[in-house]
């Protein structure tokens, strides 16, 4: 499932190197990122100075859940993760406690991005290293040309939608175009 996070409030508890990586991936989605952590990496501090995130340099409090759509716990405290996960459950907020699959309602996939084409790889939290390896392999298989090709397929789809024809014929044509090789000849 791909979730549109644009403009949605996301809470990240913890701003070390792992938290930084999660924050960076959230920034790419245009989520409204609120970070709560007494200390932060230089990069997280810079994002706060730039106004890209809201950083509260203090310990987590259950009140931090106000208006939150989802939460990511990226601390080194299993007890704190227990508290955050329980609070998330009680509020109906999606939760991901990094590297603790039993305390996750969702996982961060490894993603290959080629414009609007996104290929997500998940191992259900069992082996992020394998997911990363597969991402690297897929990045080689799906080169930059796929971005332009997908844009062309989108334009072709729009054109076909404007032409009166039976839906099955349109579907057949779209599948035929999508079966072509995206690499320039």
Q: Is residue 185 assigned to a domain?
A: no
CA distances from 59 to 10, 13, 14, 38, 81 (A): 17, 9, 9, 6, 13
Residue 160 in contact with residue 174, Cβ under 8 Å? yes
**CATH code where residue 129 lies:** 3.30.160
Burial class from Cβ neighbours inside 10 Å (0-12, 13-18, 19+) for residue 112 reads buried
Same-domain status, 23 and 70: yes
Helix (H, G, I), strand (E, B) or coil at 35: strand
Instruction: Tell me which residue range forms the domain holding 169.
Output: 145-178
Same-domain status, 84 and 114: no
Tally Cβ neighbours within 10 Å of residue 75: 20
The Cα 107–Cα 126 span in angstroms is: 10
Task: Give CA angle at 80 (79, 84), nearest 5°.
Answer: 120
Q: Is residue 4 assigned to a domain?
A: no
pLDDT score for 124: 83
Same-domain status, 92 and 54: yes
The Cα 109–Cα 175 span in angstroms is: 27
pLDDT score for 1: 66
Same-domain status, 102 and 13: yes
Catalytic residues: 99
Tokens of 101: 């699959």
R_g (Cα) of the chain, nearest Å: 20
Q: pTM score, two decimals?
A: 0.79
pLDDT score for 128: 84
The Cα 14–Cα 91 span in angstroms is: 20
Same-domain status, 102 and 76: yes
pLDDT score for 110: 86
Dihedral sign for Cα atoms in the order 80, 86, 87, 92:
positive
Strands (E), 23-92: 32-36, 54-56, 70-73
Tokens of 28: 């790419």
Residue 72 in contact with residue 12, Cβ under 8 Å? yes
pLDDT by 10s per residue, the chain, length 185: 678 999 999 999 999 999 999 999 999 899 999 999 999 999 999 999 999 999 999 999 999 999 999 999 999 999 999 999 999 999 999 999 998 889 999 888 888 989 989 999 988 878 888 999 999 999 999 999 999 999 999 999 999 999 999 999 999 999 999 998 887 64
**CATH code where residue 86 lies:** 3.40.50.720
Q: Which of 85, 87, 81 is nearest to 63 (CA)?
A: 87
């Amino acid at each position: 499932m791909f979730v549109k996070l644009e403009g949605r409030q996301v809470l990240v508890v913890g701003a070390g190197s792992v938290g930084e990586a999660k924050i960076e991936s959230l920034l790419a989605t245009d989520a409204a990122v609120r970070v709560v952590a007494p200390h932060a990496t230089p990069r997280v501090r810079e994002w706060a100075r730039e106004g890209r995130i809201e950083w509260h340099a203090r310990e987590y409090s259950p009140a931090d859940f106000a208006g939150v759509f989802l939460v990511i716990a990226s601390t080194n405290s299993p007890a704190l993760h227990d508290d955050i996960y329980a609070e998330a459950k009680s509020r109906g907020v999606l939760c991901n406690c990094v590297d603790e699959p039993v305390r996750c309602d969702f996982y961060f996939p490894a993603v290959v991005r080629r414009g609007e084409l996104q290929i997500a790889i998940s191992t259900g939290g069992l082996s992020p290293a394998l997911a990363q390896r597969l991402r690297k392999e897929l990045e080689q298989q799906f080169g930059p040309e796929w971005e332009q090709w997908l844009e062309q397929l989108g334009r072709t789809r729009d054109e076909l939608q404007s032409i009166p024809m039976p839906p099955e014929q349109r579907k057949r044509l779209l599948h035929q175009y999508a079966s072509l090789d995206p690499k320039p000849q």
